[in-house]
Amino acid sequence: MKKGYLLFLLLCLGVLFMTGCGEQTPTGGAAIEKKVVYTTFFPLYDFTKKIGGEKIEVVNMVPAGIEPHDWEPSPQLLGSLSEAEMLVSNGLGMEPWLDKVSGSLPASVVVVNASAGIEPLKGAKDHGHDQEKEKDDHAAEEEKHDEMPDPHVWLDPLLALQQARNIATALSSLDPDNATYYFNNLAAFQAEAEALDQAFREGLSGLARREIIVTHLAFAYLSRRYELEQVSISGLSPHIEPSPAQMKEIVAFGRKYDVRYVFDAPLSTSRLATVLAEEIGAQILVLNPLEGLTEQEISAGDDYFSVMRRNLEQLKIALRE
């Protein structure tokens, strides 16, 4: 009797569920539900949107205007993440919260490391001076950072392409029926990434200088690709500030190379950029590490490629004379 009642309840629920589905498809065909893929922060969101197109519903976890390094998801957001089919992460230490929660995520959420196969740079050469560090707490923290991988691979257009390729492969295994669609979108992405790479090569060739001072140590991959020399005021995470001795060395670097511009970052503006610029008589420009867009940039329709092209224009201003 009890069992019969339970079966009846289940049948009712089943009918309710089917009716629910039927309402979404008035034509009577099978419901086409998009796969839900979460991404941790902006570049991965943008790449996944471009590859997934109309077949995938992409949800970005870090909200607009928020710098992702120290961000952690709310319990509510983690709850909705556990209903996703896939999570695209950057890896390389960019999402420390993910290591903490990955054990408790349901096995149905496939976690993709978009940086798979990319050989990471270490966060060493932090301020271009490794010798004679003061053995204080700050130096200890920095040494710890020297050993950490640098997560900012997306700022090299050709490594961004590799991330997009990893995403296309992951989406194809999630949804094999649309694999051709994803790889066609990847081909379009590749054309745009290679055009961007070409624009950087041409735009930065033959300029007077190669040295850049930035507020956030995010441009090592970009600098390696286009033979720039990056010196940063803060560390791999923008809240790591330099010691007075390091600040002195940055000032010396700026004077030695007659650096005319200091690059600030939109989501982690640094008062030290202003201090430094005044000290060496430089002006402030913006180099965007693309860790998130502002509401204004989103409504202006900005994406990875438009912001990278703006970055190129800013670099050309800073390095031309």
Report the nearest approach of Zn ion to the CB of residue 94 (Å).
7
What letters, b where the CB count within 10 A reaches 16 and e where it falls short, cover 86-96?
bbbbbbbbbbe
- Where along the sequence are the contacts to Zn ion (CB under 5 A)? 218
CB count in 10 Å sphere of residue 79:
10
Closest to Zn ion by CB, 52 vs 235, is 235
Strand intervals (E) in the chain: 35-39, 56-60, 86-89, 110-113, 211-214, 229-232, 261-264, 283-286
Please, what is the minimum distance in Å from the beta carbon of residue 10 to Zn ion? 50
* Cβ neighbours, 10 Å, residue 239: 12
| Smallest distance, Zn ion to C-beta of residue 281, A | 28
Give whichever of 163 and 185 is closer to Zn ion, judged by the CB atom: 163
Residue closer to Zn ion by CB (options 148, 179) is 148
C-beta of 13: minimal distance to Zn ion in Å?
Answer: 47
Q: Could you tell me the smallest distance in angstroms from the CB atom of residue 144 to Zn ion?
A: 16
Helix (H) or strand (E) holding 214: strand 211-214
- Contact status, residue 73 vs residue 104, Cβ threshold 8 Å: no
Q: How far apart are CA 159 and CA 318, in angstroms?
A: 24
Q: Pick between residue 218 and residue 318 the one whose CB is nearest to Zn ion.
A: 218
In the bound state with Zn ion, the residue whose beta carbon lies nearer, of 218 and 272, is: 218
